[in-house]
């Protein structure tokens, strides 16, 4: 008898070997301060590749003196890249730049590997990380918009499809034209679905305004520590990893301010330099949480050597969203606070200099990991959104329900208990809460303090 043997089948997805290339374009019209450090940009591109589970085996910074329309780089550089791809058995070449469809197609032919540009890389990460229906719709819409211009890479091998009926008729439409028409139909359908999701989100936001709690939004460059700070302030367990774009979908939680008042804190998607236009447009609904916020906290990773350049990238997007004015100042009555995160990673004299700069510029230095500076930050936020005037309230012993209502919906600053069981309060109630209180308890004595 022969003994049968069985082999286990490995269903794991093979890890793709990646070659990350950061082209350095000429910095004409750009000051030394505005120019990004190529090494930091390369490190960021590697982070994007790792976030997509690619194994980065080779990297390079490639100066680009003259742009070649067909392949971005000249013939000599392309041959150099092709040799590296062959020797290192590269599966994917990642170009940290925005490639045209023609450049992407020609580079794949020349290097004989799959080519992904910065926009495609970010879109793929977003597609994997989106969890909510809104996030998935936004990513799919952005991806289709991106792919629509790249159909030429997919369908170059197909000829025109026969048009007309029977053996007559013109040349008909190409497969590219047919696919573009199909994609256009899908895009229209997705936009309708996304509009419905946005309408629902607007209704939820309107309902929150009726509560009404002040809203605080966290914004910042990707991996600046927003989710860690969000967890620290709200005692939540949102995913917080040392990884680019760990958070995509907006998350809302209640945070208690030092005086006991509740506020709503929202954690939003991180920004990044050269954020693809398709994603800025697609995620406009998500970033509406920022537009509607009373206070915006711009979280910065001050331990990162590129922190100033990252801050400019965030400010650029905030200006596009009308959260900031064209001069970088707040607009529409919003208050923006710069939160200088990760100060625990800065030591000695550099730490002292940083804290001095924060005092001069009005920034709040914190460490989301250790909690340092977070109580002071919450106190500052509470002071900024406390614009309701105090009122004096006198409650009889029988007004226990009204007393409990004030504690639930307002903020009691002082309390004096009378011998006969009555209570005198100095409290703050916003306009809507004050109106509801007066309608629900018309017999309770209440007046403005004039403070």
* Cβ(51)–Cβ(243) below 8 Å: yes
Q: Are the C-beta atoms of residues 120 and 54 closer than 8 Å to each other?
A: no
Higher-pLDDT residue of 333 and 143 is 143
- Report the DSSP pairing between strands 364-365 and 390-395: unpaired
Q: Which two tokens stand for residue 85?
A: 């791809």
Predicted confidence (pLDDT) per residue in 173-218, tens digit:
455 566 667 777 787 888 888 778 777 766 665 655 555 678 898 9
How many Cα atoms occupy the beta-carbon half-sphere of 235 within 13 Å? Answer: 4
Rounded to the nearest angstrom, the gap between the alpha carbon of residue 93 and the centroid of all alpha carbons in its chain is: 26
Q: Comparing 439 with 182, which gets the higher pLDDT?
A: 439
Predicted confidence band at 254 (pLDDT cuts at 50, 70, 90)?
Answer: confident
Residues of the chain with pLDDT > 90, as a percent, come to: 27
Which is higher by pLDDT, 287 or 363? Answer: 363
pLDDT on residue 83: 96
pLDDT at position 153, please?
Answer: 45
pLDDT tens figures, 128-142: 777 677 777 877 887
Average pLDDT over residues 305-322: 83
**Helical segments of 117-224, H only:** 118-129, 133-148, 151-155, 175-209
> C-alpha angle with apex 427: 425 to 429, nearest 5 degrees?
140
Q: How far apart are CA 107 and CA 130, in angstroms?
A: 30
* Residue 298 pLDDT > 90: yes
The answer to whether the predicted template modeling score (pTM) of the entire model surpasses 0.75 is no
Q: How many CB atoms lie within 10 A of CB 412?
A: 17
Residues 6+ apart with CB under 8 A from 349: none
Q: State the CB neighbour count (10 A cutoff) for residue 241.
A: 12
For residue 241, what is the DSSP state? -
What is the dihedral sign for C-alpha 34, 35, 39, 45?
A: positive
* Cα separation, 374 vs 405, whole angstroms: 30
Q: Angle 203-206-211 (CA atoms, 0-180°, nearest 5)?
A: 130
How far apart (Å, rounded) are the C-alpha atoms in residues 229 and 247? 13
Give the Cα separation of 187 and 145 in Å (integer).
8
As a whole number of angstroms, the distance between CA 296 and CA 447 comes to: 33
CA distance 181 to 138: 20
51-77 pLDDT per residue, tens: 888 999 999 999 988 889 999 999 999
pLDDT band of residue 444 (cuts 50, 70, 90) is: confident
């Amino acid at each position: 008898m022969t003994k049968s043997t069985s082999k286990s089948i490995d269903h794991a997805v093979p890890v793709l070997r990646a070659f990350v290339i950061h082209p350095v374009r000429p910095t004409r019209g750009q000051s030394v301060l505005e120019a990004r450090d190529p090494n930091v940009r390369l490190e960021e591109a590697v982070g994007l590749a790792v976030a997509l589970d690619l194994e980065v085996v080779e990297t390079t910074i490639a100066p680009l003196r003259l742009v070649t329309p067909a392949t971005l780089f000249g013939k000599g550089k392309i041959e150099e890249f092709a040799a590296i791809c062959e020797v290192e058995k590269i599966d994917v070449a990642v170009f940290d730049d925005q490639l045209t469809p023609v450049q992407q197609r020609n580079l794949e032919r020349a290097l004989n590997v799959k080519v992904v540009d910065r926009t495609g890389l970010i879109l793929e990460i977003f597609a994997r990380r989106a969890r909510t229906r809104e996030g998935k719709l936004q990513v799919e819409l952005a991806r289709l918009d991106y792919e629509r211009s790249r159909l030429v890479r997919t369908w170059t091998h197909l000829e025109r499809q026969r048009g007309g009926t029977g053996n007559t008729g013109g040349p008909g439409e190409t497969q590219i034209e047919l696919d573009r028409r199909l994609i256009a139909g899908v895009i229209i359908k997705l936009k309708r679905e996304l509009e419905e999701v946005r309408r629902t989100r607007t209704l939820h936001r309107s309902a929150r305004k009726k509560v009404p709690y002040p809203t605080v939004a966290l914004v910042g460059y990707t991996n600046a520590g927003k989710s860690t700070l969000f967890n620290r302030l709200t005692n939540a367990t949102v995913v917080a990893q040392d990884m680019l774009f760990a958070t995509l979908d907006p998350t809302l939680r209640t945070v208690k301010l030092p005086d006991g008042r509740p506020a709503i804190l929202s954690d939003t998607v991180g920004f990044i330099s050269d954020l693809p236009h398709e994603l800025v447009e697609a995620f406009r609904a998500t970033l509406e949480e920022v537009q509607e916020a009373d206070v915006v906290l711009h979280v910065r990773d001050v331990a990162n050597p590129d922190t100033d350049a990252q801050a400019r990238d965030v400010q650029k997007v905030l200006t596009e969203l009308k959260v900031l004015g064209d001069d970088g100042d707040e607009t529409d009555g919003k208050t923006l606070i710069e939160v200088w995160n990760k100060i625990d990673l800065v030591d000695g004299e550099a730490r002292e200099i940083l804290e001095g700069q924060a005092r001069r510029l009005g920034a709040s230095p914190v460490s989301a990991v250790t909690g340092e500076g977070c109580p002071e930050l919450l106190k500052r936020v509470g002071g900024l959104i406390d614009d309701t005037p105090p009122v004096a309230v006198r409650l009889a012993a029988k007004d226990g329900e009204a007393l409990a209502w004030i504690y639930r919906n307002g903020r009691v600053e002082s309390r004096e208990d009378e011998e006969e069981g009555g209570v005198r309060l100095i409290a703050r109630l916003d306009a809507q809460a004050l109106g509801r209180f007066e309608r629900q308890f018309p017999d309770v004595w209440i007046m403005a303090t004039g403070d």
